[in-house]
Amino acid sequence: MARLRALIAEDQALLRVGLTRILESDDIVVTDAVQDAATLAAALAKDDFDVAVLDVRLPPTFTTEGLTAATMARAARPALPVLVLSQHVEPLYARDLLADGQGSIGYLLKDRVADVDGFLAAVRQVAAGGTVLDPEVVAGLLTNRPDPVDRLTDREREVLTLMAQGRSNAAISARLHVSEGAVTKHINSIFTKLDLPQAPDDNRRVLAVLAWLDGAGG
């Protein structure tokens, strides 16, 4: 089985080296580790990596170079797996990343890298076509949504939050200590109350939920 290959873009040398070592410790090949927008653009144009792990802000302006590069790369190479790291919660970044509706996208706060196992799982989930969104971003979207999120019970809101983080029914079941059958019932109720279409797999389900959360409040 071929080893997963990753491209890293991070301007802080210490974090760049740290990300490289973390990925390599999990048998992931780091094909390149760049530090600015220019070298990132050149690296993204290559076809020698399976997933890109990018800082949102890179030299020269430290605004949205990483995000812009990721968006352009996915336009040229649809569904290119990209995991974006950010210092702060920026729901608009998540919206921009999810705009094409193709999955293979992740948005995490840099603090999450400290949870090495969780970070590595996120990298592999994105590389496999999944969607991973930082819990703080999900919480912010839920907090600022008007009706019909208010129709949901407390338990349904818990399930919705875990769904938006990309968790499977089995993972939600384990996290909440309830049966998978109970999780399925909660999810069906959520889809009904939010007028969301049923989705045949976890990734489309996540994208549907996130699209509603982002779009409902306009």
138 and 159 together in one domain: no
Burial zone of 45 (CB within 10 Å; 0-12 exposed, 13-18 middle, 19+ buried): exposed
pLDDT digits (tens, 9 = 90+) for 23-56: 999 999 999 999 999 999 999 999 999 999 999 9
Q: How far apart are CA 87 and CA 156, in angstroms?
A: 29
Q: How far apart are CA 214 and CA 218, in angstroms?
A: 7
| DSSP state letters, 80-134 | --EEEEESS--HHHHHHHHTT----EEEEEGGGGGSHHHHHHHHHHHHTT-EEE-
108 and 47 together in one domain: yes
pLDDT digits (tens, 9 = 90+) for 80-117: 999 999 988 776 777 777 777 677 888 899 999 999 99
117 and 180 together in one domain: no
- Looking up residue 208, the CATH number of its domain turns out to be 1.10.10.10
Residue where a domain stops, chosen among 118, 142, 166: 142
Residue 217: pLDDT band (50, 70, 90) is very low
174 and 94 together in one domain: no
208 and 135 together in one domain: no
Q: How far apart are CA 119 and CA 18, in angstroms?
A: 12
What is the number of structural domains in the chain? Answer: 2
Residue where a domain stops, chosen among 112, 142, 172: 142
CB contact at 8 A, 98 and 210: yes
159 and 138 together in one domain: no
22 and 70 together in one domain: yes
25 and 110 together in one domain: yes
pTM for the whole structure: 0.77
35 and 126 together in one domain: yes
pLDDT digits (tens, 9 = 90+) for 145-155: 656 677 889 99
Tell me, what's the pLDDT at 213? 65
Q: How far apart are CA 195 and CA 42, in angstroms?
A: 43
pLDDT digits (tens, 9 = 90+) for 116-159: 999 999 999 999 988 888 888 777 666 666 566 778 899 998 89
Q: Which residue range forms the structural domain that includes residue 208? A: 148-217
* Angle of CA points 11, 15, 20, to nearest 5°: 105
87 and 65 together in one domain: yes
31 and 77 together in one domain: yes
Residue where a domain stops, chosen among 75, 107, 142: 142
152 and 96 together in one domain: no
Q: How far apart are CA 202 and CA 131, in angstroms?
A: 9
